[in-house]
Each structure stands twice: as C-alpha cells, then as structure tokens.
Structure 1
Amino acid sequence: MKAPSQSGDGGRSPQADRAAEASPDQTRHQIVGPLMVVPGTVSDAERARARRIFEATFGAAGPAEPKEAAPEDSNIDVGEGKEKRVKLDPLLADALAKVGYRRVAKLAYRAERSTDDVEHVLSFDTYGTPNVYLRGDAGLRNRETEQFVSSRREQYQPALVTRTLRSTGYRFPPWFCAMHFSLGAIAEWGIQSSVDTTLFSPDELARKVQEAVQGKLAPYVGDITTTAKLLEFLERDEEPMRWFRIGGYARAAYIAYLAAKLGRDPSETRRVLVKYGARIVDMIDQTRLTLDTFIEELLGDAEAAVQANSKQPGQ
C-alpha cells in the first residue's frame, strides 16, 4: 500500500496554520507526565526508550498525564450554535452504523465483519488546546492472543514501563487493540493525521469519517477475517502498519501466539522475528534478555499457552 502523502507548504489550510502555531504539547499527547513521577532515578536514555515503547504501544495517545491530572473528555461537542451542537460519540455511532460498525463503548466501535478469529475495532479521541482535533485508530485483534500479550507484558517489557503505568494508575481500555494503526494516516487527514472538528458541520464530519472507513480502511483490512490472514498481515512491514511504529514485544508476541495456534514450525516464526530484531530488541527488558533469549522464551511461552487454552472447555 502506498504511504500517506505529505503535503507541502503551499495553500496551507487553517488547520495547518493552527497546528503550526501550537506547541508540541498541544499538537499531540506527549508521554511525559508519568515519566516525571516514576519513583527512582531515570536517565535520559531510559526515558527516551520508554517513550518509544509507549508510542509503539499506544500510538500518539496513551497515559499522557499522571492520574491526578486526567486528560479532557474526548466526547466533545461538535457544531456551531447551541441548538446545532451534538456530542461526538453519538454522532460517530450513527455515522459508523451506516458503514457497518456498532458502538461497543464510548468512542469505540466494532465492525460487523468481525469474526471469532479477528475483531475489527475503531476508536477515537480528541486532543489539543483547545480540545478540538479528532484522530482515530483502527485495530485488529484476536481475543485469545490479546490475552496472551497482556498477560506476558510485565514479563518482557522494561521495568520502567511497568513502573510508569503503575504510577499513573493506567488501565488498558476493554476494547484496546495491541495491533492498531492510524485511521487518519491512511485517509491522509493531514497534520498529526487528525481533523480539526471546528472546520466541519456535524454532517460534514460524519461524512469525512465514513469516507475514510469505506474508501481507505475497508479495502486495506476488510478481508482480514481469519487467524492465518491476521498473521500474514502482521508479518509484513508496510504502511501504515510499519514495524518501527507498531512493533516490539507486543507484535512479536502476537506473531508467536498466532503461529503456534496455526501449528507452524517454530523455526519459521524465529526466522520472521529475527528479521525484525532491530525493531524488537530496543523494546524488551535488556537487563535480562537478549534478542535470542527473548525469542526462545517467547516461542516457548506461546506454545505452552496455546496448548493450555486448547484444553479449556469450548476450545
């Protein structure tokens, strides 16, 4: 798939002008707050590596502030005039229902094409000062694999990341997808792959999201409905699901578990993970693991977890 194009300076939109005037803290969620309150001394190198891990895990969003200073509610009002303003969540729920998605939580929507093997989930949030920029994530998940990834996270990720999440009281949302990418990136929404909601009426904003889902997202991932197709998708390195954006422990664990579930020879899975080793090793606990020991341990864990799950009732 072609990479999203980057627009030049000519004919810059009001959205671009506003974003250009904003500080970095205003144009994206910075993973800074928690790293400042983690107990103990944190070196600049550790802090930088933790930030890379957060952004690979959450994208641009995530536990951006300590829990004492919760981020603004993303279910903002959209539209001009008191009578014409509507809440974002019901607006998106109605718009996405027309293109095959059903609301499952606030600003989270599940595709009707989802199967027992692969769920397709859209989630949205807003950011900025003022809080008017809309961005979306498209996620793919296999519930059994997602549980495996979550259960081993503290075992493999650096201790600083674990301490950071604990210090903020962060909890992964019920519909969080470890494997996700930016909807705005493939729809070419521009600055920070987001939309300035003040530039659109509610109907216009709804159509813009529908067009992104139907015209860009569905052709890209619509046919990923089986375990085998999900594994094949994750083993590629193409826009917008590049390994340097979404990789590290979680993607390696997803691949290891899905491959074990399909009965693939571990040597083939090892070959794939070694290929992306540079994108993995920086995001694991290097005080205990090398790339080789991580892969060996992960493959063994995945095989054992698949066998254990296969013995459970209903499997």
Structure 2
Amino acid sequence: MRLRTPYMRCVVTLTIPVFFLFTTLCLVLAQPEQNRVPISKIVVLNVDEASSGWIDKNLFTRFFMDEMRKINSSIEVHVHILYRIEDWEKLLKEAPRAIMVVNSHGEIIPIPSSYNADWCSFLGDLARLIEDKGWVLVNPIGYAFWGVGNAVDPQVGSAKIIGVNGLNCFMWGVGLVASAWPPLPEDYMNGQFNDLSKKLFDILGYEIGYDIPESIPIHRPLTVFNGTTEVLPLWALIEVKGENVTCYGFAAYKIGRGYLIWGGLHHIAPGTKVPEDITARLTAATIAYFIEPDILFMPAAPKKTPLKPSTVILSIFLVVLATISLYILKTSGLIGRRPK
C-alpha cells in the first residue's frame, strides 16, 4: 500500500517507535521494585556494658520505641533491643543479611569481648558487614565511633575514647576516607528541613515548630571521600547551606550493599539541647522513609491544633475574671434576687 500523503507517512513513521517505547515501559514497570531495601529487622543497641556519649541511651531508646510503634503500620518491620554485649557479639558472628542497627549510644559503640580491645579491627569488620551483608547502621547523634565501650573488658571499660581514629578505621575498612568536623563555625551549623523531610513529617504527623524545632544544630556532619572524589548522600532530611558548602543531617550514604545513615546532631547540653524525644522522632522518620519510600504517597496525618501559651493564659484569665464577676454580682444582690 502506498502512503499517498505526507500526513499518513508521518503517522506510520511515529507509530513504530512509540509502540516499541510503550512496550519497553511496560516491561520496566513489570520488574520488581528496586528502590526498597528489604530490611529483615531493626536492632537497637542499648548495651548495659557500654556507656553513651552526647545522649542518654535509655531515654532515647524509650522514645524511639514509642515512635516506631506509632508508625509500624506504615513500614511493618520488627524492632528488637539488644541489652547484653554477648547478644551483640552473637549477632556480629552470625552476620545475617539486611538488618538495620540503630546505635543509641551516640558517640560510643559497644565492642565485643572477643576483639580484646582491638577496636580498629572491630570497626573495620563492622564496615565490611555493611558493605557485604547489606547492613544499615544508623547513628543519630555526634561523631560516631569516637569511643568504644565494654565494661566486661578491663582494657576498654564502659567508654574508651579513641577520637577521630574510630571513624578513620571504619572507613578504611571499605576503602573510604571521612571526617565529621563542621566546615563552618558551629554557630552557623543550624540545619533546615528540606522538601523531603517536610513531606515526610506531614505524613507521619510531626509538626515543625511543635513536635520538631524549626531548625536543628548539625554540628557533626559527615564528609566522605573516595580518593579525591566526594561521596554525596543519596538523600538527606536536613541541610546546612553556607558559602560554597552544603552539609547534611540524617543523610544516607551508600556503602557497598548497605548504608550508613548519619544524623550528625549536636550533643545534649544546656543551651544547645536536642532532646532525646526529638532525636527519636528524626531517627524514626528517617527509618520509615528508608524502609518504605512509598510512604510519601500516603495521605498526610490530621493536623494538630496545639494551644499557644498566650492563648492558654488568656483563657485562664477570662475564666477567672468571669468567676470573680459572677461572685461580685451575687454578693451585691444584682443577680439571684427574686422579683417582688
């Protein structure tokens, strides 16, 4: 059949590539989802034999478990708490695939007794579990691996400070270099929530300015290098922007098959306090998005209507004023008197 008009020739010419494009798109959409990380369980490190740095581990764990119970229907994952150093050592030896470890110890991380205080080997092995077994390590606050803890081992004690060498050994285990010193003065390291975190908070029912402050001090942001190339996070909830520099808080860094999620929050201290309940909410929100990215397509939670302190004071004042006025009117006989 001859195509007698340019219009018909154009239609046929466009139909063939469109058909193949449509077929390819259908095949892609039919593939299993690749953006979900199949985490089998979440383990919270709250080991009795190790102390914590920049955070109260017990208070954080309590708040974190409360937050995870609230959002568990959205992500459907089991959360376990490890209280004993023996259980932590057993988990490391079993090395199951695709688990998430939340370190409630802040700048300290528990080290098993079998390492005989060889913290560099321990941190290197931990990094390789992330790289090879798909582990996800979440460290919400401070300069992670600043110290190790194990009161059973007299060479370590509940907290042995190793400084920047801890993060160095961890990163060397996977061929990377990193630092968590702020590139700007700490007074300029207040992070702002980005569009991702705002959307996520709306869905989880966290209101900025009520459940979470409007800005968060990110005083230990992570900077990672692979050779001379900076490794940027896949995503982050908090950003600190300065002149020619951007830092991130609660950011997900890909390491082999697994991830390191770095909070970078400032320590719990007077005047710069990030309370454990806020730290727990930020951690829970990060985990919810990491495990179930499709949570962003869920409807937003109903807005809370918190009363401002000024509103509460005014309401109390009006009630007291009305009570006094009613009392004066009654005692003066202006009300309650029977007509003659």
Structure with the largest fraction of helix: 1
Check whether TM > 0.5.
no
Q: Report which of the two structures shows the higher radius of gyration computed on alpha carbons.
A: 2
TM range, normalised to the smaller chain? under 0.3
TM-score (norm: length of structure 1): 0.23
Structure with the largest fraction of strand: 2
